[in-house]
Structure 1
Amino acid sequence: MATTETNILNRLYFVSGSLFVFALAVVFKLCSIQFIQGDGYRELAEKRTVKDFEIPANRGNVYSADGSLLATSIPKYDVGIDPVTSSNKNFEAYIRPLCDSLQAFTGESASSFQSKLRKARETDNQYVLLARDLSYSDFIRFREFPLLNLGAIRGGFVFSQKTKREHPMGRIAERSIGYEKIDENGYATRVGIDGAFGIKYLRGENGKRLKQKIGNGQWKPIADFNQIEPKDGYDVYTTIDVNIQDIAHHALLGQLEYYKADHGCVVVMDVKTGEIKAISNLGRNKNGFYYERLNYAVGESHEPGSTFKLMALASGLEDKLIDTSDVVDTEKGILSFYGNKVRDSRNGGYGKITVAEAFEVSSNTGIVKAIDNAYRKNPSKFVDRLYSMNLNDSLALPIIGEPSPIIPDPRIKNGRWSGIALQWMAYGYGVSFTPLQTLTFYNAIANDGVMVKPRFLKEVRKFDKVIVPFEKEIINPKICSEPTVKKLQALLKNVVEKKHGTGHRLYSDNFSMAGKTGTCQKDYATKDKLNYISSFAGFFPADNPKYSCIVVIHEPDKSVGYYGADVSGPVFKRIAQKIYTDTPIIEEVQSLDFKNDVVNEDFGHYNDMANKYKQLMPYVVGMPAMDAVALLENLQVNVKLNGSGVVRKQSIDKHQKLKPNQTIVLEAS
């Protein structure tokens, strides 16, 4: 009996002891969670329900040299409501006037909105989207609607902000103005000025706002203020002159259309400073329309053809192995090197002519004979002279995508050298440069031998305060001697002024120009597939030049014409005369019918150049209404929008001068 009682007591003590130990373990675990692991668990809980969201900073604007807007960031807002968070009293008091306001704005019935919001409240749906892609003015209007004006906590007001980059000049210089796009993985695509100077100046610093998860993947701001306010980016002022840009763009566009060319580019540069005043790059799409497809001037390297003859003669003149008065035999138009033939620009050649005449008529055999005689025994000397003029150096442009020049060198393994490299280089084959690299050399000749770096920026500003000024950069203070420069300048003038010059059809009695034509073959497979690159590089006025310019057009229709003097030269002339005389130009080749809308493929861009000045009314008919409103608000005018969708009518005609705070009425479908 005693043994049985003892066993029972022992079991009782064991159970009691086990319960006591378990209780101690529970207490210990609770204390551990509360005081040791508590911070970690609290942080984990907050991460799952509360999160910092980045508020994108307003990207800085891009302006032309005279302050015309080239690129701007327009804020867009998505607005919604959390119908659960507000009290019954507030919800019932303001639900009807809120829905009336929504009806007036969207056109959707108030009863439909009310039904949607009541159902969301009954089912604890904490997010209902009310409107998407609102402009700032409409966002402010929404924020004042009944119930929403009570804020995030009492009224359930929820919104998200994003920015959209707009180019008020449309697709004119769009590739050069550029953009910066960052994908969901953080990979950035940077193009043009906007891309080159985005990180350092334009991007700004993003802000932060604390939001709480409310279900269905939606987040609601916890407070009506930001934890960290975003800091806007700086504004950059480019060297682009919108007047010259307009002239260059349309001159190139008209010629591309006439010759049905694949693509082309034009660059206008200030001789003394290197400032790029205009840059246009147009390529043809599958429908035959031209738009800013790629930045050919900066990023496309190709054999220059006859425009390289200036570099070749500069070498011979500077080394005193060639003089412009030397006589060369063009050998009836054909020279042979190791079984490979150099054919002259005219069947039968030009007989015996001076080196100067060979350049002026662009005689291939004449120039090749002169260079071969001078450097056959020491081709490295020719290459070294090209190097001394910085022709082997890239321009180190901030705009991404510039390839390095290609110059064959007999001393470098795999340096593209061959038994005919010297002779082919003499007339522009076997070497490769971008249009801007070629123009930089021509600009140096116009600038009396001073080679300046092409420059796209004048300064960086914060409001009206200059933060970073950009000054002229000299690549080489003297690429060759003064006598050599003077001879080269005279050669370029004679190409246009002398009757036998390849550029004489561009000659004008009341305006002087200097330059060199270039016609280069591409695609050597068969004669049927043979295409051409037509170019013209030079400067104007011929005496005391102000601007240098290059025009390059790829693959013009051979049945219409392909020589540089016919295809690219007229673009050069049109630009020069428009800039300096502003007189109508009568072309010998063709008359042009400019179509302002051919470069526009979507409604996101203007159909003309009406907005090249900030004070002129642009043409916004056909644009999405929200985009049109945002664009006009950037011009410091008031906008009244009737309807939504696409703009069908504007109260002020295009090209009309705008006044500050003027009201413009837009009628939309």
Structure 2
Amino acid sequence: MNVRNEVLGRVYIIFAFVGLVSLAIFSKAAWINVVEGDRWKAKGDSLYLKHVPIQAERGNILADNGSLLASALPLFDIRFDPNSSGMSEKDFFDNLDSLALNLAWHEKYANSPDQIKLKLLKARQEGHHYLSIARGLSHQEMRKVSSFPLFRKGKYKGGLIVERKSKRRRPHGILANRTIGYVRENAQPVGLEGYYDDVLSGKEGKRLVKRAGQAYIPLSNRAEIEPITGNDIRTTINVNIQDITETALINGIKHHEADFGTAIVMEVATGAVKAIANIKSTENGYWESYNYAVGTAVEPGSTFKLASIMCLLEDRLITLDDLIDIERGRKTFYNKELVDATLTCRKTDTTTIRRAFELSSNVGIAKLITNHYGRGTKAKLFIQGLRDLGLGQKTGISIEGEAQPYLKEAFSEKDDWSGISLPWISIGYESTITPLQLLTFYNGVANNGKLMKPQLVTSIEAYGEPLEVFPPKVIKQRMASPYTIQLAQDLLRGVVEDGTASRLRSSKVSFSGKTGTAQTNYGFERKKKGIQYRASFCGFFPSEAPKYSVVVMVENPKKNGFYGSQVAGPIFKKIVEEIFEAEMELHRPINVSLKAKKSPKRQIGARTDFEELGALWDWKLYGDTEENWISLDAHRDTMQMIAKLYSEELVPDVRGMGLRDALHLLEERGLKVKTEGLGKVSRQSIRYGTAAKGQTVYLNLN
């Protein structure tokens, strides 16, 4: 009995313990389910579900006319979930053969249909949910693959997963490559892409994905939060002018075997940068690897002499007809000899200041500055005069990496001011400036003294509509007096007409500018490598009504000359002439005497055509001529035929002709033709009587 009671007591204890444990477990389960349920569910989901960002489509970078410089090219990756919950076994096996056949065709049979079939079967058997099918497809290719058997059933029944991404595309290749720039992971943003990244990048979206093995697959082909496409920026870059500039620069660097070069074209009235080229010679050819135009401040050499002369003129210390002894091109300043490069200077004693500038006399300019600013503290006036012209400061262009120019403070120990600083600064040494900053200064001279901020972007747009517009900005309303500006313009024109750039004169278009040649290495490096040079030319055109300013700088030319007039000048001329030929508005109207509202009485064309028309309309034709080309003059009820003679070696006058006849005459003489408008030829870009040498003639028709 006692034993039985003892056993029952132990059983009751065990039951009680089990009951208490069960109650505790039930209570905890209820607590977790009711009170902490949402927290633990979220934690569980986080192990299998998460939100991932969806990159927004990047905005476009547009040229001045709206054409694309850089755009987002949509690309698609195709993946397959052969174990999708909505896919039946029957659907999978019924479509397996035809799907494999279509995929083999799409891959151009890199893999056979049997190989692809085995791959799909294996993926299903091993429980894969994220099998890669194709990468980087275009939209058209994606639509095609999505229509394949099984895939056409969609994500759940067909296992199709489509992932969109984008790739930056540049329709014009390396054109303006460094100016357009890039944004990359683990790299400093560059160019317009970097400066306007916040505008172009848009706003990323979110998509819910679930874990499937080692991969995460989207729960839906649609996003929970759709990405917002970036806005576009419209630049000032003109594709045609950019192409002209880059081509001329590359050819010049090749011809002179130079290390690198840069060229910029700016619109005078607005400061709009129409082209900016930076070309470096590499082992793999020619490439834009650095923006020298904006990011490199260098000693400019003789192009800086214009600023020195303008300081003297602005302070009314000289007239251009004053005389200066250039001492046959040799002068010693504090035991350091300064030598002129031109042979004419070495044969000249006394000449006018105007002539000394045209010949780019180092001795003449250095003596003038030293004579007028070399006593007492007057050097401070010269340095301040340079700053008043806008020199020594950044332009503030909307692109990263503009170099800080360097202009010494007079008598500053920190700046290493010495006895030769004043004469050396006056001719473009002991100070540095970027090509863009130099061009901004020259552009101000061309713009009658109004200093414009260089502009690269005119507006931010969305779907073709402007969101924000950036008008041209004036840095300084008047950089110098009209008196000084007029004389500076005259000096630059004189350099081309009768100075160091006289061999560059063009029969097509007038231009003004200044040559520059700077020695770039000193001391040990000079002894080791020999003298190296930087050749430059800066100016504007047409001289009488400047539309564009241009700077060209070429570093270390090793062949076919090294002076600015030999290296940078011809590149400048090529750019100027080709822009002039391409832009009809730069040409003077040839037939301004004709009134557009009245029909011309004279018709020009082939004689046989007029004879056929005369027979058809019963015209009374007179004039005994057997020439192929005639003009037909109307006289009341009769038509007079007058012979037109055209030399085979000269550009013919095709004004008044129909397009067919004009093309025949011009192309017969080896000329290329581009047209604009409809009707008869009203204007031609190359004046008749010019030697025909394969040029391109632009015709306006109306």
What range is the shorter-chain TM-score in?
Answer: 0.7 to 0.9
Cα distance, 1:465 vs. partner?
A: 1.6
Cα distance, 1:423 vs. partner?
A: 1.7
AA at the equivalent of 1:551: V
1:496 is aligned to 496
AA at the equivalent of 1:27: F
Cα distance, 1:84 vs. partner?
A: 1.1
| CA distance 1:395–1:7, change in 2 (3 Å) | farther
1:50 is aligned to 49
Cα deviation per residue 1:328-381 (whole Å; 9 max; x = unaligned)?
222343333333332222474732222222211111111111111111122111
CA–CA separation in structure 2 for the residues paired with 1:413 and 1:10:
105
AA at the equivalent of 1:57: A
**Aligned pair 1:142/2:148, yes or no?**
no
TM-score for the superposition, normalised by structure 1? 0.81
Cα distance, 1:497 vs. partner?
A: 0.6
| CA distance 1:24–1:372, change in 2 (3 Å) | farther
| CA distance 1:178–1:8, change in 2 (3 Å) | same
1:607 is aligned to none
CA–CA separation in structure 2 for the residues paired with 1:156 and 1:547:
60
CA–CA separation in structure 2 for the residues paired with 1:5 and 1:411:
118
**Aligned pair 1:120/2:123, yes or no?**
yes
1:627 is aligned to none
Cα distance, 1:20 vs. partner?
A: 4.7
CA–CA separation in structure 1 for the residues paired with 2:182 and 2:342:
46
Q: Which moved more, 1:516-525 or 1:346-355?
A: 346-355
Cα distance, 1:18 vs. partner?
A: 4.7
Cα distance, 1:61 vs. partner?
A: 1.8
Question: Tell me, what secondary structure is at the counterpart of 2:198?
Answer: helix
CA–CA separation in structure 2 for the residues paired with 1:349 and 1:25:
114
Cα deviation per residue 1:135-188 (whole Å; 9 max; x = unaligned)?
11111111121211222222111232221111111112111122222x2xxx56
Cα distance, 1:413 vs. partner?
A: 5.9
1:520 is aligned to 518
Cα deviation per residue 1:362-412 (whole Å; 9 max; x = unaligned)?
111111111111111221111111222221221112211101111011365
Question: Tell me, what secondary structure is at the counterpart of 1:133?
Answer: strand
CA–CA separation in structure 2 for the residues paired with 1:322 and 1:44:
85
2:170 is aligned to 167
**Aligned pair 1:434/2:434, yes or no?**
yes
Cα distance, 1:532 vs. partner?
A: 0.8
Matches within 5 A, 1:133-532: 133-181=136-184, 183=185, 187=186, 189-200=188-199, 202-216=200-214, 218-287=215-284, 289-346=285-342, 348=346, 350-376=348-374, 377=376, 378-410=378-410, 414-498=414-498, 501-524=499-522, 525-527=525-527, 528-532=529-533
Cα distance, 1:12 vs. partner?
A: 6.3
**Aligned pair 1:64/2:60, yes or no?**
no
| CA distance 1:193–1:7, change in 2 (3 Å) | same
Matches within 5 A, 1:22-101: 22-85=21-84, 86-101=87-102
> Contact 1:153–1:223 at 8 Å: present in 2 too?
no
> Contact 1:318–1:484 at 8 Å: present in 2 too?
yes
Cα distance, 1:105 vs. partner?
A: 1.1
Is the radius of gyration larger for structure 1 or structure 2?
2
| CA distance 1:366–1:76, change in 2 (3 Å) | same
CA–CA separation in structure 2 for the residues paired with 1:392 and 1:163:
43
2:607 is aligned to none
Which structure's relative contact order is higher, taking Cα pairs within 8 Å and 6+ residues apart?
Answer: 1
CA–CA separation in structure 2 for the residues paired with 1:517 and 1:417:
27
CA–CA separation in structure 2 for the residues paired with 1:477 and 1:486:
16
Q: Which moved more, 1:520-529 or 1:123-132?
A: 520-529
1:561 is aligned to 561
Structure 1, unaligned runs of 5 or more? 584-669
| CA distance 1:497–1:27, change in 2 (3 Å) | same
| CA distance 1:79–1:416, change in 2 (3 Å) | farther
CA–CA separation in structure 1 for the residues paired with 2:10 and 2:316:
118
CA–CA separation in structure 1 for the residues paired with 2:451 and 2:403:
19
CA–CA separation in structure 2 for the residues paired with 1:142 and 1:570:
55
> Contact 1:265–1:551 at 8 Å: present in 2 too?
yes
Cα distance, 1:475 vs. partner?
A: 0.4
TM-score for the superposition, normalised by structure 2? 0.78
> Contact 1:152–1:221 at 8 Å: present in 2 too?
no
AA at the equivalent of 2:97: R
| CA distance 1:332–1:25, change in 2 (3 Å) | farther
1:651 is aligned to none
Question: Tell me, what secondary structure is at the counterpart of 1:581?
Answer: helix
> Contact 1:152–1:222 at 8 Å: present in 2 too?
no
Cα distance, 1:509 vs. partner?
A: 4.3
CA–CA separation in structure 1 for the residues paired with 2:177 and 2:162:
31
AA at the equivalent of 2:132: L
AA at the equivalent of 1:41: W
CA–CA separation in structure 2 for the residues paired with 1:456 and 1:54:
32
2:540 is aligned to 539
Q: Which moved more, 1:476-485 or 1:120-129?
A: 120-129
Question: Tell me, what secondary structure is at the counterpart of 1:565?
Answer: coil
> Contact 2:162–2:221 at 8 Å: present in 1 too?
no
CA–CA separation in structure 2 for the residues paired with 1:5 and 1:323:
136
Question: Tell me, what secondary structure is at the counterpart of 2:431?
Answer: coil
Cα distance, 1:270 vs. partner?
A: 0.6
Cα deviation per residue 1:232-271 (whole Å; 9 max; x = unaligned)?
2222222122221221111111111110111101111110
Cα deviation per residue 1:433-477 (whole Å; 9 max; x = unaligned)?
110100000000000000001111232322232222221100000
RMSD: 2.2
> Contact 1:153–1:222 at 8 Å: present in 2 too?
no
AA at the equivalent of 1:105: H
Question: Tell me, what secondary structure is at the counterpart of 2:534?
Answer: strand
AA at the equivalent of 1:44: K
Structure 2, unaligned runs of 5 or more? 584-702
Q: Which moved more, 1:481-490 or 1:101-110?
A: 101-110
Question: Tell me, what secondary structure is at the counterpart of 2:183?
Answer: strand
Among the aligned pairs, what percent are the same residue? 37
CA–CA separation in structure 2 for the residues paired with 1:7 and 1:313:
123
AA at the equivalent of 1:123: E
Q: Which moved more, 1:84-93 or 1:567-576?
A: 84-93
CA–CA separation in structure 1 for the residues paired with 2:39 and 2:555:
65
